Amino acid sequence: MSKPRVALLGLGIMGSGMAGRLLSAGFPLTIYNRSRYKAARFADAGASVAATPRQAVAHADIVISIVADDAASKAVWFGEDGALAGVARGAVLIESSTLSVNYIGELAKAAAERGCEFLDAPVTGSKPHAESGQVLFLVGGSAQTLATARPALEVMSRDIVHLGPTGSGALLKLINNFMCGVQLASLAEASALIDAGKLDREKALTVLTNGAPGSPLIKTIAARISAAPTSPNFLLRLMAKDLTYAVSEAKSHGLALETASAALEIFNRAAEAGHGDEDFSAVIGSIAAR
């Protein structure tokens, strides 16, 4: 059987890795990115490059969007040149960005009005996971729709977790990311206190990472503190955005995420200091420099 035709909207840190995986698995792929230069290497590998989201989805069986935030998602799905204006009835639409739960509901409704199936399927992981096909999809939507999309999702992932109805994936992704943000904010403050107290940084971090605080995230980020700077795996400003969405979603349920709010303040200060487009581990240096 021939593979379904896929349209991918967004070639950022995660989208680029996902595009590479789809091409290597032989899926007919059309790509769209606002900055067209990012598409060149995928065109060389066999992807078709579209000028607009509407053009990208014209012949697609499955459409995957992975962009920065609610505003960027609205820009690729809605409007005269948006994907919803050109997609065929019956296509499966997948939103893999980390977005607000309320907006996911709006997008799902618009997809249904267009006669399309919809999944919210954000991913955990960062740049190396996307490139190696090791992301984890957190899926909300119908089991039948997921079964249709599964062949494409499998080549990009280590696992696919079906969590329940529409919005379930988006909610768990916000919970996942706010917990990551809280952990990193605590490491940033710990690092600042290590320096202020004139402790041996290497020894102190060895104790912390090999003890109870040493989660996989803490171990990974601690190793980056003394390493030479590399290209970002996850942008600091996107962590601030995710924390903002998580705090807002909690408020809609009558909950106050106090640890997430404190972490958000730390990440916002780092972004205001000019670290927004750096790896989110840059929050550590921003505290030490104050």
Sort strands 123-124 and 135-140 into parallel, antiparallel or unpaired. Answer: antiparallel
Report DSSP state, residue 54.
H
Report whether pLDDT(210) > 70: yes
Backbone angles phi, psi at 58, to 5 degrees: -55, -35
231 — pLDDT class (breaks 50, 70, 90): confident
159 — pLDDT class (breaks 50, 70, 90): very high
Query: If you average pLDDT over every residue of the chain, what do you get?
Result: 96
Tokens matching residue 102: 């309320």
Fold of the CATH domain 6-165: Rossmann fold (3.40.50)
Element (H, E) at 93: strand 92-95
Report whether pLDDT(290) > 60: no
Please choose, from the candidates 267, 276, 64, the residue with its C-alpha nearest in 3D space to the C-alpha of residue 177.
Answer: 267
Residue for token pair 């997948």: 94
* Superfamily for the 171-288 domain: N-(1-d-carboxylethyl)-l-norvaline Dehydrogenase; domain 2 (1.10.1040.10)
Distance CA 274, CA 290 (A): 13
Tokens matching residue 38: 């990012």
Min mean pLDDT across 80-89, 107-116, 251-260, 277-286 is at 277-286
Tokens matching residue 67: 């962009």
Tokens matching residue 62: 């499955």
Report whether pLDDT(76) > 70: yes
Report whether pLDDT(152) > 60: yes
Contacts 24+ apart (CB under 8 A), 35-42: 35/11, 38/11, 39/11, 42/11, 42/16
Q: Cα 7 to chain center, whole Å?
A: 17
Distance CA 127, CA 133 (A): 10
What ranges do the domains of the chain cover?
6-165, 171-288
